[in-house]
Structure 1
Amino acid sequence: MSNRFSVGINDVDFRSMRITRESHVSPMEPKVLAVLRVLIDRAGEVVSREQLIDAVWGNQFGGEERLSRAISLLRKALGDARGQHEHIETVPKVGYRLIADIQPSITAAKTPKATSRDPKYRTLTVVCLVIAASVLILWLLQLPRPATSEAPLDEISSAIARPALDNSVAVLPFADLSPNGNQQYFSDGLAEEILNALATVEELSVAGRTSSFAYRDGAQSVKEIGEALNVNFLLEGSVRKQDDTVRVTAQLVRVADGYHVWSKTFDGDLNDIFEYQESVARSIASELSPASAGDGRLAPLLTRDREAYELYLQGRAMSRRFGRQEKLTAIDLLGKAVERDASFADAWAWLARSHLFIPVTDPEQDSSDHISMARFAVQQALTIDSDVPMGHYVSALLHDYDLNFDASFDAIERAYSAAPNQPFFAIRRGLYHLSLGYVSKGSEIIEAGLLLDPTDTLGLLNLGQAKIHLGDVDGGMALIERSASLGFAPAGLLRCVQLGNTGRPKESYQCWQQLPAVIKSRYPEALTTTEIWDDLGRIYALRDQAAIERVSSIALQVANDPSVPMSSYLYGVLQAIGETDRYLQSFIDRPFLLNASALRMMWMGASSIPTPTREAKFIDFAERLGFTRTWQKHGWPDYCHASSPDKTSSFYCD
């Protein structure tokens, strides 16, 4: 397929990732262009939002938000004025249609050199990325700066230190070559289990799943990916599954010269798939670090029931999707997996995760049954295997809901100890440090995790917040903007807030007015009227006292209304208007899932915004939530100390 097209009067170059309109050049992100590629392939047809999300993001979290943002960026680059869609038409409640004239560009006639990312080598492309995502942040943080408010390149690239990683590898999702093309979940699962097995080898640096799987579309050559990510090797492969047989081809490619240093093909019965995973992982580990693999298994034997394993892979893939229906489908699949094998600990852990996140997708629904089922499932998982990292992670979230944060802290430490080389758990460990006031140490932990998984949007956002709090405003803003550019909607909101916190009130107010509807929908309805929403923008940008007075009465009514679900968004408003006493009381009286994010705001707020940690009630609050027990065990946080100067309390905070 051509890599260059004329779309209306625009020249679209997929290889250089640019859209040129007359003399205006717009550098584009890979995923944004991947959306355009799908629309070009089906020019004139209506492509549903679901089809676009599946084709570009698969089961990654936040696909809806990322698609809306991608369409907006494409329209801007193609020259569409606001409300005038001359290139990409919106079909209400369905999807989008490319309506502009499409022609392969004349300059595209030149045939590029074949590489291992070209179609004829596609079979082998997907398994080689176990190193690449290790330093993916180099490329991610050096994307060309749009003409908006992105930070300069030198500020972005210096936001995170990037040490060279010698034995680094990244695993791309394996290509599904099955006859019906419906086995991507199996291909992804196979690649992920090999990735997890390699991550157990201390001498290897293995890129995180989020970042390595971002290269699903295969738009770049191995050399381009390797140079962009500063990695030494890529693992790529393909899977052809039919009935009870499977053929898997895996290949390790050296980035420097494209030389295939190792390859392996497996033809056999699906019952032997675990031994194949072990064989591939051990071969790669031995190739990169001959003395590293040891004698024990690298790829754990999760279950001996093949059908239970396939149900698990499907359920895990669905669980990672955001929608309520997707979570319910995951619950059904994972429930069937544990019915077939009641000793399948990982399936129990993911079943617990799926139940726990149902209320997050629809906060207004009664969540008690799902929370109870999550408790039961995670107990089953950890009883079967006390070292299941996902089980300890879900346990930490349940302890949060129970306002038992010393138990949460211990649980996330156990999750990390069970999988220290998986950056997802390292980054979550850093987030818990931030939640309990360890801002400096939490920042260091997250930063180390992002070296291996630099597209973890939650990690980028919180590290950015912490850096600003610690004095690195430029570096922090670069990370927040990077998180927003990856489609994480809350990062766009926090960017507006931090612009106000760092002395740019006009930019902050304008930013607030341009926030997408998806962010506005996460606030209680009473706070989203035109007048109150404008007042909120004035509060964050200008600390407007008149606006604070107007918002306060409404915000307090909302916070006292038991029919309105509590959220970090509402807690942010309470803190901004100075209602820190209500903030502390509501947190105890009305617990909600994923509440730890509200705690992080307490420690990393701007000096101009009141912080609950200075309230007299904070001492009782910290005792109630288990903060003091954690501090006494692990050391005091950055801004609190063992006892007050007058000895009237067990601790005090600056």
Structure 2
Amino acid sequence: MPLEAKLFGGFQLLSNDGQEIKIANRRARALLAMLLLEPGAALERDHICKLLWTGRFEAQARASLRQCLLGLGKIFEPLGCDLLEVSRSRIGLNAKMVRSDIADLESALDDGQSAQATELLSAIGGKPILDQMSFGEDFEIWLAERRQTTEQRLQTRISAALAKLKTSDNLTEHDKLLDAWMVRHPASSRVIMSDLHSGKTRIAVLPFASQDSEDSEGYFADGIVDELITTLGQVPQLLVAGRTSSFQFRDAQVTLPEIADTLHVSYLVEGSVQRQNEDVHLNVRLIDGQTGFESWSHSYDGTIDDMFASREEVAKTITRELGRALKLNIEEPDVRQMTDNKEAYGLYLQGRALTRRAIGDGVLSKAIELLEQALEIDPEFAECWTALAEAHVYTAVYTPCLDKLGEVERMAECAKRAIKLSPKQGHAKAMLGLYQWTRNDAVGALDLAFEAYRMEPENPAVVMRLGSFLLYCGRTQQALPYIQAAIDQDPVDGRNYGMLCVAHLNLGNINAAIHAGQRMADLGQPSLHLAAATAASGDHDLAVEQYQKTRLLMNSVIFLPAGTTPMTPEAMDAYWLLAAKGIHSGREEDRAQYCQMLEMLHASLPDPCDPTIVWPAIWMGYAPMVFKTLGKQITPPNMVGLMSLWADIEPIRQTRIHPDFWDFAKRIGLIAAWDKYGWPDLLPAPSS
């Protein structure tokens, strides 16, 4: 039987009985991998020397290659395996003696073995080809080309296999294969489904004006807008701006073309709801984003009961009419199942509106109260269970909450209930992933995030959740496209720019990180990550100043740790100055002083794992504190700090190179996640 080579993830060579054949020489492993990536072709010795021994003299490189081949011969001789075909000028593989996981997958697809192909793809997951294998710029260029060629080859075979399954009406196998491929290549899966952002008509639905004395907060009008955003979002030819960004422009004193430019859309949908007693007049207009002129309008008249009973039909009608106006052949989309109870629906709209506001005394507790009232009326209301789950998550994150884990438990219960009632609740699955993080199950968290993405690939909250989970695992290059896609769809949600700032910082794109951090600050969010990026650029004085400025957001976006008493303004200013210098001045004495402060906070705060301890510890590379906080308990607010572990700058890298890091990574589930989804950009896989 032939040997088996694993090319997805870290390179491995397995014997007939499944045992790994240990090859200590990393260039020897690379040589075998190169030959396997170009099956049937023998490689020139000079070409191999150039890629694997860059910078060495020709004679020295050739001598190193000969030693490498001798070493491989000694390894394979006891196995009775004549693996290499060597001549004076070329080196090739005996194809009968070895097979690779790439070749196995291609054979399964070519032979119509869709179940086997799905199984192989599921095992491969998101692992890149030859992860963590690098020998200089020339090798990296060659490997990037081989990766691209191989992935394109696989995509062609996947497309053909999916088309064959669809033609034969084998939709179950079709969906399984597509789901498995989406885990690996969501972008190329969209090519298969003709669902790329490019080529779509970009559109935003703005908040409708409410002319109704009984609806002073606009909940009824917002409900109609939300139905439209959700329904239009299911149309393959449209890309709909996220609700968070669209609702930033309620009563905004800017022109419609300016709004369209900010949201990166070509068209705007706006409207009004006029209600008098039980009679309702709904007017919807399509606006050309470039000119601001109306290009189409639609009116609907009826009673409030008519409107509620037929709101799904109203959404479908408007979608259909929009399709005609935009000259798009739109198939009638599915409309999510809500509730048939008008009172429950009204309470749901009010509760969810407060949840999305999040900040403010009693805002989230009132949201939970309203949503629970709605569920008392209609306990089968799946969307409301999802909204209640979100309210509990926000309570843990945006309030000085002591019982963070209790809120997470309640969130998980609500999310599970939502999924049981409506299995397509992708947002609920994504939130359930947060619960898995708190249980040190990073694999389970990523599994749920990918599943949620397959269900709702156009929901920016779901897309960002997946991107953030990958970022927490150190898979920054894989995370970045998801983060960018979420921001592209929801460009005025300031919180997302923190993720983008950290992603660029992790990849060494300092200027891009500073730009993203500044955008976050401009949108009214804390500039903590901007300060980290500025410090990485070498401007420590400015970084200290930026970190201090965040103090101005105290009690509005940032809150004191739960269970603590308010500080005087003078004490607060002194603390923020101590923190800013400790994290970003670059002086060891400042760092040591603030590390002592963190020790004191850890010993005295009601929550010893509060993010006010965790985040600075990560930025200062204070590994012992990282291990005894995140290593003890991950919570929704402190887990965000995980994404900052992966910047290759001082002093952040000190945590990663600490001898206890591997035990920490194993304890919180990271190593299991790396084994399935690929190792971090900055860490070599164990095999290498």
Task: Map 1:400-479 to 2 at 5 A.
Answer: 400-479=437-516
Question: Runs of 5+ in structure 1 lacking a partner?
Answer: 1-161, 646-654
C-alpha spacing 1:617/1:565, structure 2 compared with 1 (3 Å): closer
Q: Does 1:510 align with 2:545?
A: yes
Question: d(CA) in 1 for partners of 2:370 and 2:272?
Answer: 24
Q: Which residue of 1 aligns with 2:315?
A: 277
Structure with the largest fraction of helix:
2
Native 8 Å contact 2:614 2:638 kept in 1: no
| 1:354 Cα deviation after fit | 1.4
Question: d(CA) in 2 for partners of 1:472 and 1:628?
Answer: 26
Q: Does 1:382 align with 2:414?
A: no
Which of these residues, 523, 529, 535, is aligned with residue 500 of structure 1? 535
Q: Which residue of 1 aligns with 2:281?
A: 247
Native 8 Å contact 2:501 2:533 kept in 1: no
Task: Map 1:11-90 to 2 at 5 A.
Answer: none
Query: Deviation per CA, 1:504-536, whole angstroms, max 9, x where unpaired?
Result: 122223334443244585468899666654343
Native 8 Å contact 2:494 2:520 kept in 1: yes
Question: d(CA) in 2 for partners of 1:546 and 1:272?
Answer: 67
Which of these residues, 629, 645, 654, is aligned with residue 602 of structure 1? 645
Q: Secondary structure at the match of 2:447?
A: helix
Question: d(CA) in 1 for partners of 2:382 and 2:639?
Answer: 26
Q: Which residue of 2 aligns with 1:171?
A: 205
Question: d(CA) in 1 for partners of 2:328 and 2:401?
Answer: 54
Q: Which residue of 2 aligns with 1:66?
A: none
Question: d(CA) in 2 for partners of 1:567 and 1:607?
Answer: 23
Question: d(CA) in 2 for partners of 1:197 and 1:565?
Answer: 44
Question: d(CA) in 2 for partners of 1:228 and 1:365?
Answer: 38
Task: Map 1:151-162 to 2 at 5 A.
Answer: none
Mark the structure with the bigger radius of gyration. 2
Q: Which residue of 1 aligns with 2:671?
A: 628
Native 8 Å contact 2:551 2:576 kept in 1: no
Query: Deviation per CA, 1:119-174, whole angstroms, max 9, x where unpaired?
Result: xxxxxxxxxxxxxxxxxxxxxxxxxxxxxxxxxxxxxxxxxxx9976511111001
Question: d(CA) in 2 for partners of 1:163 and 1:272?
Answer: 31
Q: Secondary structure at the match of 2:495?
A: helix
| 1:234 Cα deviation after fit | 1.3
Q: Which residue of 2 aligns with 1:339?
A: 376
Task: Map 1:84-123 to 2 at 5 A.
Answer: none
Q: Secondary structure at the match of 2:550?
A: coil
Query: Deviation per CA, 1:270-312, whole angstroms, max 9, x where unpaired?
Result: 3222221222123223443532x324x4322312222221211
TM-score, structure 1 as length reference = 0.68
| 1:605 Cα deviation after fit | 5.9
Native 8 Å contact 1:251 1:262 kept in 2: yes
| 1:604 Cα deviation after fit | 2.6
Question: d(CA) in 2 for partners of 1:304 and 1:386?
Answer: 19
Q: What letter is aligned with 2:334?
A: L
Which of these residues, 430, 452, 475, is aligned with residue 393 of structure 1? 430
C-alpha spacing 1:367/1:430, structure 2 compared with 1 (3 Å): closer
Q: Which residue of 1 aligns with 2:600?
A: 557
Q: Which residue of 2 aligns with 1:299?
A: 335
TM-score, structure 2 as length reference = 0.65
Query: Deviation per CA, 1:465-514, whole angstroms, max 9, x where unpaired?
Result: 2223323222221111111111112xx22222322221012222333444
Q: Secondary structure at the match of 1:589?
A: coil
Indicate the RMSD between aligned Cα atoms, in angstroms.
Answer: 2.8
Report which stretch shifted further, 396-405 or 561-570.
561-570
C-alpha spacing 1:218/1:164, structure 2 compared with 1 (3 Å): farther
Native 8 Å contact 2:583 2:620 kept in 1: no
Question: d(CA) in 2 for partners of 1:231 and 1:554?
Answer: 48
Question: d(CA) in 1 for partners of 2:197 and 2:386?
Answer: 34
Q: Which residue of 2 aligns with 1:104?
A: none
Native 8 Å contact 1:501 1:608 kept in 2: no
| 1:218 Cα deviation after fit | 4.4
Identity of aligned residues (%): 26
Report which stretch shifted further, 338-347 or 164-173.
164-173
Query: Deviation per CA, 1:184-203, whole angstroms, max 9, x where unpaired?
Result: 12212211220111111121
C-alpha spacing 1:173/1:369, structure 2 compared with 1 (3 Å): same
| 1:455 Cα deviation after fit | 1.3
Q: What letter is aligned with 1:506?
A: D
Native 8 Å contact 2:535 2:543 kept in 1: yes
Q: Which residue of 1 aligns with 2:237?
A: 203
Question: d(CA) in 1 for partners of 2:415 and 2:247?
Answer: 27
Question: Runs of 5+ in structure 2 lacking a partner?
Answer: 1-195
Question: d(CA) in 2 for partners of 1:603 and 1:577?
Answer: 13
Q: Which residue of 1 aligns with 2:266?
A: 232
Q: Secondary structure at the match of 1:516?
A: helix
Aligned pair count? Answer: 480
Question: d(CA) in 1 for partners of 2:398 and 2:417?
Answer: 24
Q: Which residue of 2 aligns with 1:192?
A: 226
Q: What letter is aligned with 1:210?
A: T
Q: What letter is aligned with 1:595?
A: N
Native 8 Å contact 2:453 2:466 kept in 1: yes
Q: Does 1:360 align with 2:397?
A: yes
Query: Deviation per CA, 1:564-597, whole angstroms, max 9, x where unpaired?
Result: 4523331132234442033123213233333321
| 1:259 Cα deviation after fit | 5.0
C-alpha spacing 1:531/1:263, structure 2 compared with 1 (3 Å): closer
Q: What letter is aligned with 2:660?
A: K
Q: Which residue of 1 aligns with 2:356?
A: 320
Q: Which residue of 1 aligns with 2:137?
A: none
Native 8 Å contact 1:423 1:450 kept in 2: yes
Q: Secondary structure at the match of 1:239?
A: strand
Report which stretch shifted further, 306-315 or 509-518.
509-518
Question: d(CA) in 2 for partners of 1:267 and 1:530?
Answer: 57
Q: Secondary structure at the match of 2:631?
A: helix
C-alpha spacing 1:466/1:170, structure 2 compared with 1 (3 Å): same
C-alpha spacing 1:369/1:197, structure 2 compared with 1 (3 Å): same
Question: d(CA) in 1 for partners of 2:619 and 2:406?
Answer: 34
